[in-house]
Structure 1
Amino acid sequence: RSASGKAMLANDPHLALNTPSTFYQNHLRTRRGGLDVVGVSFPGVPFVVLGQNRRVTWGATVNPLDVTDTFQEQVVLDGSSPSGLSTVYLGTPEPLIPIPETFRYNVVGDGVPNNRELALPGSTVGGVFIPPVTLIAPRRNNGPIINIDLATGFALSVQYTGFGATREIDAFRMLNFAKGLDDFQAGLQFFDVGSQNFAYMDTDGNIAYFTSAEMPIREDLQAGTISGLPPYLIRNGTGGNEWAPVTNPQPHQAVPYEILPFDEMPKLINPASGYFINANNDPTGNTRDNNAFNELRPGGGIFYLNPGYAIGTRAGRITRGFEERLAAGPLSREDMEEIQADVVLLDAQVFTPLILQAFENAQSAAAHPLLAAIASDPGVAEAVGRLEGWDFSTPTGVVEGYDASDKSGARAAPSAGEIEHSIAATIYSVWRGRMIGNTIDPVLDAIGLPRPPSSLTMTALRNLFDSYDTQFGLGASGLNFFNVPGVSDPLARRDILVLKSLQDALDLLAGPQFTEAFGGSTDQDDYRWGRLHRIVLDHPLGPPFDTPPAGGAFPPSFPDLPGLAVDGGFGVVDASSHSARADSSNDFMFGSGPSRRYIGESNRTPRGINGQTTLPGGASGVLGSPLYANILGRWLTNDYYEVRQRNRDVKQSAESKQLFLPRRE
C-alpha cells in the first residue's frame, strides 16, 4: 500500500516531555558478533529500546493490560508470624513478612546542602508517616500492605506481576540482534512486565503488531464468572479472586502464576488490509460494547485484558487519514509525516455540528424564549459563525508559535486562514469545558460522586448526545444530566445548554481567569489558540534548566506567559492533550506527548532501513551547551533528521568524538 512498494513503520510513543528528554539516542555496533543497532534508550538500559538494525525496525506504545489487583485482606494477630500479623485466606492465617527500611530526608531551610537526617520508624516527617516496617504478603507475589486498620482487622494489599524477577533486558538484547520476524517474536517471550503495543517491520516486507507482557489469569474469570467485584476494583483477599496457579507453563515464563498464552494475546501479522493502526486503543474491540467480560477464551474462561483504553480519537483520526489517502493512491513517507503531525480535533467534528444546529433551532419562531435570547447575543452569533467556517484544526495563530506548517523550527507568520481556525479552536476548547460544567459535573457534584477523568467524561457526553432522541439526557443510572430550571421541553433544554455553554465560554474568555492570556478582551480576534496551548519541558531542578528558558538559549514564546506555543489539543494525533475541563490561561498547557517521532522504510540495500526521527530536546544535559536543546525546534514543527547508521555517515556528521578504552592491568 506504499508509494515505494516498501514496508513503512511510523511510531511516536507518548511519555513525559521533560528536560533532558526521556529517551536518549544510542548506536551500538560491534566489529564481531553481528550487532549494529541504532535508536533510543533509557538511562541504565544497556541496549536500544526502540530502533532499527540492518534487517528489522520496531516501535512501541503503552498497552494498559490489567496486571495489578488490590485486595481487601482480613488481618489477625499471630504470634507465630515474624511480624506478629497474618492475613487470612480460606480460613487459614498466612504470615505477613516485615521488611525493615531506612528513610532519610534533607533538612530544608537551614542553608546546609545535603543535610540529611534519619526518619525514625513510627515518626511523622513533613506530614508523612514513617511506618515501623513494610509488610509483605507472600501470596501477593510479595506485594506490600499499603493500608492497615488493626482496630477493624482490615488491610489493603497490592499484587503486581512486576514484583518478581523478570527478563526485559533479555528481550531488548534479542530484539537488537533480530534478523527477522521469528527472532523478534522469540525476543518478545522475555518481555514480561510493562505491557506494550509492539509494531514491527523488516526488509523482507513483513509488518506485524504484537501485545507483549505476562497477563495473569484470575481463578473466578477462568471459571466463567466474576466473583464479587471485578478486577479493576478492590477484590476479596480471603478467597475466590486469586491469580490461578501455574498449570500450563509458557515458554520462558517469569510470573509464578497462570498467564495468558502468547498465542491468545492480541497480534496481527501481514494483515490483508496491508496496514494496521494502534494509538493506545482497544486492539481487539473487546470493550467496544462497554463490557470487558463478555468474550471467552478458546478453551473456556472469560477473555479479559483491561477495562478500558484510549477513547479512540487518535486511532479514529489516523484511520480516516489512511482511508482518504489510500482512496487517492498508495501512501508515501510524506503522508506518514502528515498523519503524525495531524492536529485536528475529532471530538470537535462530533460536537460542533450540535452547536450549529442549536443556533439554527433558536432562529425558529417557535423557539423557547430562553434559547432565542441566548442566540440573540451578538457574541454568540459571531462565535457560531467562526465555528461554521472551522476545519477543526488547531494552529497557534501567532507568529511566536510553533506549527507543523513551519519548517525546521523556523517560525513563520500565520496565514489569515490559520488565524481564523486558531480562534475557533480556542472558542470550541473553552466551550467543551463549559458544556461538561453545565451537564455532567453539577449532577455528580450534587450527589457526592467524583468527577470522571477527561476521556471518560467525553465518552459519557458523546453517549448522552447520541441517545438524546430516546433518553432526553438521562444516563443509564436514571440521572438527568440536561437540567434547565423552568424548561420542560427536553429538546429545548439540550439546545439551551449547548448555546449557554458557548455564551459562558465567551464570558470566561473575557473574564479574570483568562486575563493573563487575553487581558480581559471581548474582541474574539484576540483569542489565538497559541496564547493558551503551551508547553514547558520541565527539568528536575526547575528554572533556568527548564525549556524554556534553557538558560536563555530557548526563550518562551511570550514574555508574559510560560512555555512555548504549539499547535495541537485534546485527543489529537500529535498528542498534546490538556484537561477537557480546562478553564483558565494556563489550564490548556500540556506536559506529555511524542517522546520520539520515527518513520522507517525498508530498503534491500546494505543500508537496510531508511529511518528518520526527532526528539524533544538535545543530546547534552549540560546547561549552556549548544546541544542542550538543538533538536527541539525540529520536534516542535514536526520535522525530522536522518537516522545515521552507516559508519561513514556517522563520521561525516560528527562534531566531536570521545574514545573510552578499558584499563589494562
Structure 2
Amino acid sequence: MRLRNLLLTLSLGPIACMSHVGCNSTGDGIPEAPGPFGYTPKIDFRTQIERLEGPVDVVRDAHGMVHIYATTSADAMRVEGYQLARDRTAQLELIRRIAEGRMAELLGGLSPDLIDSDISARTIGLHRVAKKMYEALPAESEAKKLLDAYADGISQFNARLNSENAEEVLPQSMSLLPLTAFEPWNGADVLAVARFQSQELSLTADEEITQSSFIAKWRTVFGASTDEQLKKRAPLLAQYAQFKPLDTATVLPGFPNDGGHVQSQPLEIGSRPIAQTQVVPRAAVRPAAVSPATFDAANGFVSGLGKMRSFLGERPFTGSNNWVVAPSRTASGHAILASDPHLSLSAPAVFWMVHLNVINASDPSQDMDVAGLAFPGIAGVILGYNRNVGWGATTALYDVTDVYSEKLNGDASGVVFNGQNVPFEKVHETIKVQGRDPIEYDVLMVPHHHGPLVPTIVDHKVVAPDPSKAALSMRWTGMEPTNELAAVFGFMRAKTVEDARVAIRNFSVGAQNWVFADTNGDIFYSSQSQIPKRDKRAYSWDPNTFSGTLPCFVLPGDGTAEWTGEYLPEANVPHAKNPSSGYIATANNDQVGVTVDNDPSNDKLPNGDPMYMGCYFDTGLREARIKKRIEAVGNKMTPEEMASIQGDAQSPLGAELTPKLLEALGHAEEERATPGSRPDLATVVKSAAYDPALIAEVQDVFRRWALDKDYEASAGLNLDDNTLSADAGEALASKATLIFNVWLVRMLGATFDDELGKLEFKTSPFDMRVALVNAVRANDSLLFDDLNTATPESRDERMVTSLLDALAFLKADKRAGQDRNAWRWGTFHTLRFASLVPLWPALSIPPGGDATFPNGFPRHGDGYNVDVATYSTKTRDLSQVDFSYAHGPTQRFVIEMDPAGPRARNALPGGAVWDDTNKHFRDEAELWRRNQNHAVSFTHTEVKAEAETRTLYSSSASK
C-alpha cells in the first residue's frame, strides 16, 4: 500500500487530506487515499460487504458504466458480483434459473410453458456439467477463487434483499417476484450460466430434430406419393434446404495458402467429384429411419428449448458482425477493430458494461485493466479490451451436436447398440412448480456417450418412451466439462495477440469467430473450438438425391455414426494472423467455403480424413457487404467509417429480387400492350386489381430506389417525434422498402404455402427467404406452380400477383393510409426493447402505452443487412404479420489500438440499470437506436472527468 500510495501521490500531485472522506497516514507523512481510485472525486456512498481484502472504489460515469478499482483480483470480482446484482437484480436471478431449469418454481403457475422449459433444461443438464467443471478446479487455483468471490458478491446482495431492515430493495416496477427467490450463489451457478451462453451459441439439437422431421415428411408426402403432381415435387427439397450460401464470400479465402496463415498443407475444399467422397459402399450405409411419431414425441422438448432460447434471441436470426483492420489500411496507422454481436434486444440489455482495474503492489500477477461487456452471471469481461489488446466475437456455427435415432429394447429400459441391449442410466430430477405439486422424472442417459434421451412431454409432464417406436438422444460437446473461463481470464490480461492466441486454446465449447488487435499493430483471427470427428459412415451424403447420412440431421444410433474421440486438429481450425489483405471480417458465414459447392460432406483434411465443419452458415450477404465497404475505403479506414459500416442498412434482398420483380412487371406491361405475348400473365393483367398507373408508379419507385439510394432500407420517420421525415431521398427509400417487404411476405406465401400445407407445416424450419432467392434464380422451379390450382403458375405470375396483393393490403391498412406519398417503412418496422418479464410493461423501452412511440421505435433495415433487423415470416397472412423485430446488435463497439492508449466507442441497446426510475435505464438505448456511440472512459483521467458518483466498498475487517 505504501508504494502504491506514493505512486498515486506522484501521479496526482500533492494533495492535502480531505476531511469529508477521511484519510490515514502511511507513517511517513504521506496521506493515504480513502480508496484505490485516489483522493477525488468525493465519495458519495459507502457500502460494507464481507471478505474484502482492501477498499474497492466503484465510479459510475455519465453513461452509467461502472469502473471498479481494487487491489486484488478477488476483490474486483466480489464487487463486480455485488454491483451487478444491484444494477440487474431480476435479470441475474432469471438467467440462473433458466440455465438450471428452475423457472417454474417462480412463475410456473402463471406460465405453465415454463415447466416444459425446465424439463428441457434439466434434460440437457447444464447444472450437472457446471458442477463437474467447478469440482475439477484445484482448490487453490485463481479461477476457483475468482468464481467464488464473484458468486459471494451476488450472494451478499441477495441476503440484503431478504434482510429485515431492507438494506437493498427491488425496483418498484418489479412485482410478483418474492424476495425469497433471490437465493445464495456458488461457483457452479456461475459456470451454469456460462454454459447456458455456450448452449445458445452451439447446441442445435432442436434444429436438427425439426429439420429432419421436415425432410422425412417431404419424402413421405411427395417422394412416396402416387400422385404425379406431388411426386414431381420431390426433388424440390434440395431448393428448400440448400446448403450453399446466397453469396460465397468467406472469412479466409484460400485458407490456408495466404502467407499470414499458419497451416501449410492446403485443404481440399469442394474440388473433387462427389463419387470420390464415398468412404463405404453406398448400399452399406442407411440414413436414420425415423417415424413421424418419433419426431412428434420430441415436440414438447423442442418447444421447451425454444422457450429457453427466447431469453437470448432466436438462433435462426443470426446477425453478428466483427472485423479488424491492420495498420496498413488505417488513416492513423493503428489497428482498428469493430464488433457488434447480435442477441435478443430486450430490456435490460443482454450485456452490462464494466471496467475492472486491479493494481497489486505485492503481486503484479493479479493486475488487470480491462473494460467491455460482462454477461450477467459470468465473472469478468467477455468482450472488450485492455491497454494492449481488443477483441470481439461472432458465432461460428460449427456443428458440434448430434441427434441419434435409438432403437428401444422390448420394455424401453434401454437401447440396442451394435446389436446388444444397453440399459439406460438414470438421473432423477425434481422440478418445483409455483402453486402446484413438484414434478419428478428420470433423465434417461444412453451410456455410450449418446447423451440424454429426448423426453416426451405431455401436459407439462414427462411420459415414458414407447418401446414400439424409436426414440431420439442427443450428444453435444457442452455436456462434457471444459474451461472456457480460462480463455476469458487470459484475454483480460493479454498483452499481445499471441497471448490471446494461447488463451483461446481453452475455448472448447460455443465456438466463436474471435478477432483481436493489439497496440503492436498485429491482427489475429481464430475460431478455436472442439469440432468432433465422426465415423466416416456419418458422411454418406449424396447431394444429387439429397439423401444419406449427415451430422446436421438425425443420425442412426446403431453404432455406425459415432464420434471417434478426436477433434479437428487445431492447425485445421480456421485462423489467421496479419493476412495479406490487411483485414479480417466475419459474419456467421462459412469460414473457408466448405458449403459453397452445396455439399458439406466432401471436404478432406491433408491426411484424407473428412473435414466436416457444419451444414448451415449465414447467407454470406453481410460478409460480402462488409468486405465491399472495407475495400471501398482503401487504406484510410477510421473509427468513424467502421461505425458507419456497422449501421449499414442496404437491403440485400431488395438488391437481389427487385430487378427480377421489375422484369416481371415489364413482362406484364408487354402482355397488356400485346395480348398473348406473355400468356402466363394474361389473367393477372386483366384483373380489376391491376392498375396500370399504380404499376408505373411502383416501377418508378423501385428504379429510383436502386439508382438514388442503393437499396437503402430507410425507416423514413423522424427518430425524435415519429413524424414523417422531410428528406425526399429517405422518404423514397422508405416507401420502396415498405412495398418491397410487404410484397416479399406475400411472395413467400404464394410460393411455399401450398407445399407447406400438404406437409401440415405452418412454416419451414429452413430459411424461406433463402429458398425464395434460390427459386427466383432458378426460374424454372415448380415451386411457383400452386398445387391447389389447375392452371400452372410461373415465376412472373407469382411476382406480379403478389405485388397486387401487397398494394391492396397497403391501401386498406390504416398504418399506411390513403396518401401513398406518406407510406413509410418505419410505421410498420419497429423495435421495442421488451421487458424480460411481460408482466412488467413499464420496464420495456419504450414502455407499453408510450404516447410518441406506441408501437416501438421506427427502425431502418429489413433483413440480412449489416445492421440486421430481420422480422419474422412465420406467418404469410399479411393481416397477421408483425414487421417489428427483436434481435440485433448488443453493442456498437469500435476501438482503435493506439499505443498511447486504446480509444474505444460503444453503445448498448439499453441502459446499465434495470429500473425505470433510474436515469441510466434507457440512456444507452437512445444512442443505440440512432446508430450512434460514445467514447468509453478508460484511463484514470478520463474516468475522473466523466465521474458521476463514487461508491467506496469496504469490509468490516478492513480499514
**Shorter-chain TM-score: which interval?**
0.7 to 0.9
Give the alignment partner of residue 494 of structure 1, picking from 795, 819, 830: 795
Q: Name the counterpart of 1:23.
A: 351
- Alpha carbons 2:539, 2:601 under 8 Å: kept: no
| 2:436 is the counterpart of 1:140 | no
- Alpha carbons 2:494, 2:500 under 8 Å: kept: yes
Tell me, in whole angstroms, the C-alpha distance in 2 between the residues paired with 1:76 and 1:2. Answer: 65
Please list the CA deviations of residues 49-73 of structure 1 after superposition, one character each: whole Å capped at 9, or x if unmatched: 0010111100001111111111111
Tell me, in whole angstroms, the C-alpha distance in 1 between the residues paired with 2:851 and 2:574. Answer: 43
Give the alignment partner of residue 349 of structure 1, picking from 630, 644, 655: 655
Task: Report how far residue 620 of structure 1 moved.
Answer: 1.1
Task: Report how far residue 494 of structure 1 moved.
Answer: 2.6
Tell me, in whole angstroms, the C-alpha distance in 2 between the residues paired with 1:611 and 1:239. Answer: 52
Classify 1:415/1:644 alpha carbon distance in 2 versus 1 (closer, same or farther; 3 Å): same
Give the alignment partner of residue 280 of structure 1, picking from 588, 613, 630: 588
Task: Report how far residue 571 of structure 1 moved.
Answer: 1.2
Q: Name the counterpart of 1:192.
A: 508
Residue type of the alignment partner of 1:602: M
Tell me, in whole angstroms, the C-alpha distance in 1 between the residues paired with 2:537 and 2:521. Answer: 39
- Alpha carbons 1:596, 1:616 under 8 Å: kept: yes
SS of the residue corresponding to residue 563 of structure 2 reads: coil
Task: Report how far residue 380 of structure 1 moved.
Answer: 2.6
Tell me, in whole angstroms, the C-alpha distance in 1 between the residues paired with 2:721 and 2:516. Answer: 31
Tell me, in whole angstroms, the C-alpha distance in 2 between the residues paired with 1:222 and 1:508. Answer: 48
Q: Name the counterpart of 2:772.
A: 461
SS of the residue corresponding to residue 363 of structure 1 reads: helix
| 2:533 is the counterpart of 1:220 | no
Q: Name the counterpart of 1:534.
A: 830
Residue type of the alignment partner of 1:394: A
- Alpha carbons 1:143, 1:160 under 8 Å: kept: no
Tell me, in whole angstroms, the C-alpha distance in 2 between the residues paired with 1:401 and 1:393. Answer: 20
Q: Name the counterpart of 1:384.
A: 699
| 2:401 is the counterpart of 1:68 | yes
Tell me, in whole angstroms, the C-alpha distance in 1 between the residues paired with 2:503 and 2:413. Answer: 42
Q: Name the counterpart of 2:342.
A: 14
SS of the residue corresponding to residue 394 of structure 1 reads: coil
Task: Report how far residue 420 of structure 1 moved.
Answer: 1.5
Larger deviation: 66-75 or 90-99?
A: 90-99
| 2:906 is the counterpart of 1:616 | no
Classify 1:268/1:452 alpha carbon distance in 2 versus 1 (closer, same or farther; 3 Å): farther
Q: Name the counterpart of 1:38.
A: 371
Classify 1:625/1:144 alpha carbon distance in 2 versus 1 (closer, same or farther; 3 Å): same
| 2:920 is the counterpart of 1:627 | yes
- Alpha carbons 2:661, 2:799 under 8 Å: kept: yes
Q: Note the 1:171-570 alignment, pairs <5 A.
A: 171-220=487-536, 229-245=549-565, 258-326=566-634, 330-364=636-670, 365=674, 366-368=677-679, 369-373=682-686, 376-390=691-705, 391=709, 392-400=711-719, 413-446=725-758, 448=760, 451-453=763-765, 456-468=767-779, 472-474=780-782, 481=785, 493-511=794-812, 514-515=813-814, 517-518=815-816, 521-542=817-838, 543-550=840-847, 555=850, 557-559=852-854, 562-570=855-863
| 2:424 is the counterpart of 1:96 | yes
Classify 1:156/1:401 alpha carbon distance in 2 versus 1 (closer, same or farther; 3 Å): farther
- Alpha carbons 1:192, 1:214 under 8 Å: kept: yes
Task: Report how far residue 223 of structure 1 moved.
Answer: 8.5
Please list the CA deviations of residues 419-471 of structure 1 after superposition, one character each: whole Å capped at 9, or x if unmatched: 12111110000111111111223234235566425x73222222222222xxx
Tell me, in whole angstroms, the C-alpha distance in 2 between the residues paired with 1:545 and 1:242. Answer: 51
Larger deviation: 19-28 or 29-38?
A: 29-38
Larger deviation: 417-426 or 28-37?
A: 28-37
Tell me, in whole angstroms, the C-alpha distance in 1 between the residues paired with 2:945 and 2:575. Answer: 40
SS of the residue corresponding to residue 98 of structure 1 reads: strand
- Alpha carbons 2:540, 2:548 under 8 Å: kept: no
Tell me, in whole angstroms, the C-alpha distance in 2 between the residues paired with 1:556 and 1:579. Answer: 26
Please list the CA deviations of residues 497-548 of structure 1 after superposition, one character each: whole Å capped at 9, or x if unmatched: 221111111112234xx44x23xx3432232111111111121233433333
Tell me, in whole angstroms, the C-alpha distance in 1 between the residues paired with 2:806 and 2:508. Answer: 47
- Alpha carbons 1:200, 1:208 under 8 Å: kept: yes
Residue type of the alignment partner of 2:653: D
SS of the residue corresponding to residue 173 of structure 1 reads: helix
| 2:887 is the counterpart of 1:592 | yes
Residue type of the alignment partner of 1:105: V
SS of the residue corresponding to residue 655 of structure 1 reads: strand
Q: How large is the RMSD of aligned CA atoms in angstroms? A: 2.6
Tell me, in whole angstroms, the C-alpha distance in 2 between the residues paired with 1:495 and 1:77. Answer: 56
Classify 1:357/1:155 alpha carbon distance in 2 versus 1 (closer, same or farther; 3 Å): closer
- Alpha carbons 1:141, 1:164 under 8 Å: kept: no
Greater RCO, CA 8 A, separation 6+: 2
- Alpha carbons 1:228, 1:235 under 8 Å: kept: no
Task: Report how far residue 43 of structure 1 moved.
Answer: 1.3
Q: Name the counterpart of 1:255.
A: none
Larger deviation: 17-26 or 378-387?
A: 378-387
Please list the CA deviations of residues 477-508 of structure 1 after superposition, one character each: whole Å capped at 9, or x if unmatched: xx6647896767x8xx3322221111111112
Larger deviation: 85-94 or 192-201?
A: 85-94
| 2:910 is the counterpart of 1:604 | no
Structure 1 unaligned spans of 5+:
79-83, 108-116, 122-131, 246-257, 404-410
Task: Report how far residue 35 of structure 1 moved.
Answer: 0.8
SS of the residue corresponding to residue 549 of structure 1 reads: coil
Q: Name the counterpart of 1:114.
A: none
Classify 1:414/1:168 alpha carbon distance in 2 versus 1 (closer, same or farther; 3 Å): farther
| 2:464 is the counterpart of 1:158 | no
Classify 1:557/1:589 alpha carbon distance in 2 versus 1 (closer, same or farther; 3 Å): farther
Structure 2 unaligned spans of 5+:
1-328, 457-463
Classify 1:144/1:26 alpha carbon distance in 2 versus 1 (closer, same or farther; 3 Å): farther
SS of the residue corresponding to residue 574 of structure 1 reads: coil
Tell me, in whole angstroms, the C-alpha distance in 2 between the residues paired with 1:356 and 1:600. Answer: 42
Task: Report how far residue 145 of structure 1 moved.
Answer: 4.2
Tell me, in whole angstroms, the C-alpha distance in 2 between the residues paired with 1:313 and 1:523. Answer: 34
- Alpha carbons 1:401, 1:567 under 8 Å: kept: no
SS of the residue corresponding to residue 659 of structure 2 reads: helix
Tell me, in whole angstroms, the C-alpha distance in 1 between the residues paired with 2:525 and 2:629. Answer: 20
- Alpha carbons 1:395, 1:530 under 8 Å: kept: yes
SS of the residue corresponding to residue 631 of structure 1 reads: helix
Residue type of the alignment partner of 1:154: A
- Alpha carbons 2:843, 2:915 under 8 Å: kept: no
- Alpha carbons 1:221, 1:301 under 8 Å: kept: no
Tell me, in whole angstroms, the C-alpha distance in 2 between the residues paired with 1:221 and 1:271. Answer: 36
Tell me, in whole angstroms, the C-alpha distance in 2 between the residues paired with 1:381 and 1:565. Answer: 28
Classify 1:567/1:223 alpha carbon distance in 2 versus 1 (closer, same or farther; 3 Å): closer
Classify 1:228/1:427 alpha carbon distance in 2 versus 1 (closer, same or farther; 3 Å): closer
Classify 1:482/1:642 alpha carbon distance in 2 versus 1 (closer, same or farther; 3 Å): same
- Greater radius of gyration (CA): 2
Residue type of the alignment partner of 1:459: V
Q: Could you tell me the TM-score, scaled by structure 2's length?
A: 0.59
Tell me, in whole angstroms, the C-alpha distance in 2 between the residues paired with 1:156 and 1:659. Answer: 54
Q: Could you tell me the TM-score, scaled by structure 1's length?
A: 0.84
- Alpha carbons 1:473, 1:482 under 8 Å: kept: no
Residue type of the alignment partner of 2:395: V
Residue type of the alignment partner of 1:173: F
- Alpha carbons 1:482, 1:494 under 8 Å: kept: no
Tell me, in whole angstroms, the C-alpha distance in 2 between the residues paired with 1:442 and 1:586. Answer: 18
- Alpha carbons 1:569, 1:576 under 8 Å: kept: yes
